[in-house]
Every structure is written in structure tokens, then in C-alpha cells.
Amino acid sequence: MQLNQSSESEELGIDALSDLFHRYLTGLILAMVVELGEGRAADVMKGLFRRQQGERFLPGLKKLGLSEEPDAVACAKYHFLSNQVGGVSVAYIAESDTKAWIRYLPPRWIFDGTAIAAIPTQVARAMLWGWHANSGVLLGNPRLGFVCTGQTMDGAPGLEGYYIEEDGILEPEERLRFRFGESCPAIDDGVLPKLDTQQWPNERLNKAARNYAMDYIRNIVPVMCEQLGPLVAQGVLYRTGRLIGMQYSESIRTTLGLENPAEVLGALFRAQGDEVSVRENEITQTTWKLMNGLEAESLPGWMDGLRGLWEGVVSVTSPDLRLDLLDRLDTGGDCFHWRCSAISEPSKY
């Protein structure tokens, strides 16, 4: 299907935003390891995956038609299908109704690029404690646990392991176990289910990949505030965002085919699904889809941290550019009102 100019611009914006949030997530993990230590970074990762699971797992099982499958098999299929929609390479094989393997193949999406070399084992394990160890709890099956048989950062060719339903009830510390002497049976990729291209055209897949990346940022922000405290979290979010925004500013502007800072930001905000208008050097954003539904938890520091990402993107376009936030949707205003202006100009903020 031929895309019109408006649709093509929307697709480019979604691609740019997906990449930016993806790199921001990886950057935040690395920044926490360096600035705060692997223990606190692991706490955030466990909280992030537990929160993601709480939002997505049970509704996802129903949506994917897995509710009637045996628990171990349903869990493995869930990881395969949900990650496939998000563009992440995962394979699975069911040995029986009570034992089903999954393998996350390199390149590991969450540890983007060369970042894989800097991720401590403790941080990677925390992801499993956050989600995989808790699946049986959410399913009301205290005999269901997960056994990890290999991790990428330990030199294994991917993260692999299996869900298993034991004969007896598992203690909390037994819900995740590590057995590196076992290995996943051969998986025939040819027999794995494929997405229906009629139901999942490229446009829908691109939006799903954007939502996948947005969900991680949506959930890591409140988890960081809870685990680290709002001020520490705000600092890490801002500093990391500014660096990531600067690092990928050129590729974003190239993807969008735009150079004007206000137009670049407007395109990225629209790609989030927000209502946005741009007039000269000012952007009015009347919705915040990224944090929609989290108003009861919202702290002003959330945007104060995230704005570093947007500052980084536009700051590269001019050495004397400043990004002001003149009005705030998160503190009772009608909109986020942004202005790109020269540092020499007086600020209204």
C-alpha cells in the first residue's frame, strides 16, 4: 500500500521515537550501574519487570488466546508471542505440559549494541526475579517456577531456561533457580508460529514496537523514583536523557528529514500519540500519552527528569539553544508549553 506524505511522516516519527526510547532505556540501566552500583540497579530492574508483568501478563495471556494452555506452556508462548510483536527475538519449545523452554537470542534488545559487555550478572538476574519468578504467583500456581540454564553476559549464546511445574509447592527462593549444566533442546524455527501479515502489517508492527519501548520508559520512571528517591531518580533521568538525546540527535533528524528544533520535537511528541501544535519556535502538547493513566502516582519530577532527553535532541542543532517549559500539564496546567530559544534571550520559565 502506498503511504501518503502524512502517513509516511508519521511512520518516520514512530521509527525515530522507538529507537530513541530504546536507547534511553539501555542508557538508564548503564548509568545506574555506574553511578549507583549494580545492587541498586538490580533493585530497579526487578521492580521494573515486576511492574511490567503486573500491567501486561494476565491481560496478555487472554488477548493472545493462551488462558486455557497449561501454565508452563502458556508462559513460554506468552514470551515468544509478545516479544515477537515488539520486535525481539525469542524462541520456545514445550517438552511437556509441565515443562516449556524459552530462549532470548542475541542481539539482546534491552542491552542494546555494545552495552551487553557492561551489564553485570546481578542486573540480568534481577529481570528474571522480577517477572519469571513471579509468573506462578500471578497464575495462582505455587508449584510453577523458572529454571535459568544460561545468560548472555555469562558467555552463553542467549538467555535460556524453562518454566516447570513441580510436584510440590515452591518456596519463594525456589521460584527462580540456576542450573547451568542443562541446555535447551534443539528448536526448529520453521515450526514456530508466525505473525499473520494480514493482521500485522508493517504499520501495526511499527506502532507495536513503539509501544513496547514506551512501556519500558513509562514504567521505569516511577520505579526509579520509588527505589532511588525522586531527587536521585530525577538526576539520573535528566543526565542520561541529555546524553542519549545528543548522541542520537543527528540520526533522529536524518530519519525525520527535519532540522528546525521545534519541528523535530513536535514530530517526536506526535509519535508518542500526543496532540501537538507547532508555531515558529514553540510547541504546545495538550496530552501526555506516555504517562496516561498514572496521574495518581505522578510527581512533577517525572517530566523534570525526562526533559533532559528532549533537551539533548535539540541542543545539538545549535550551541546556544535553550529549551524552556513554560506551562505544565503535570502540575495542573492545560498543556506542556515548550519554547526553543537562544540562551541570550530572557527565559519565561
Give me the percent of the chain exceeding a pLDDT of 70.
Answer: 97
Alpha-carbon separation of residue 218 from 23, 149, 159, 272, 294 (angstroms): 14, 30, 25, 11, 9
Rg (CA), the chain: 21
pLDDT in tens, 269-294: 999 999 999 999 999 999 999 999 89
Contact in structure between 48 and 130 (CB atoms under 8 Å): yes
Q: What is the pLDDT of residue 9?
A: 87
Report d(CA 253, CA 189) in Å as an integer.
37
Secondary structure letter of residue 88 according to DSSP: -
Helix axes 230-256, 301-315, angle to 10 degrees: 30
Query: Per-residue pLDDT tens for 121-168?
Result: 999 999 999 999 999 999 999 999 999 999 998 888 889 999 999 999
Task: Set out the domains of the chain in order of their start, with CATH numbers.
Answer: 12-191 (3.30.1380), 230-342 (3.30.1380.20)
pLDDT > 50? residue 309? yes
Alpha-carbon separation of residue 246 from 122, 203, 255 (angstroms): 29, 28, 15
User: In terms of pTM, does the model score above 0.75?
Assistant: yes
Q: What's the pLDDT at 6?
A: 67
Return the C-alpha cell found at 123.
542486573
Q: Is 332 or 44 the better-scoring residue by pLDDT?
A: 44
Asked if 122 and 43 touch (Cβ cutoff 8 Å), the reply is: no
**pLDDT score of 44:** 98
Decide if 159 contacts 124 (C-beta within 8 A): yes
Whole-angstrom Cα distance, residue 297 to residue 179? Answer: 39
Concatenated DSSP letters for 156-214? -SSEEEEEEE-SSPPPGGGSEEE-TT--PPP--GGGS----TTTS-HHHHHHHHHHHHH
Give 295's pLDDT tier (boundaries 50, 70, 90).
confident
Q: How far is CA 44 from the centre of its chain?
A: 13
Q: What does the pLDDT read at residue 200?
A: 83
Helix%, strand%, coil% for the chain, nearest 5: 55, 15, 30
Structural contact between residues 316 and 327, judged by C-beta atoms closer than 8 angstroms: no
Residue pLDDT, tens place only, 250-269: 999 999 999 999 999 999 99
Check whether 83 has a pLDDT greater than 80.
yes
Please state, rounded to an integer, the average pLDDT across all residues of the chain: 92
**Quick check: 346 pLDDT over 80?**
no
Question: How far is 83 from 105, CA to CA, in rounded Å?
Answer: 11
Which residue, among 10, 170, 191, has the nearest Cα to 91 in the 3D structure? 191
Residue 347 pLDDT > 60: no
Residues 164-214: pLDDT tens digits?
999 999 999 999 999 998 988 888 888 887 777 888 888 888 999 999 999
Residue 349 has pLDDT above 50, yes or no: no
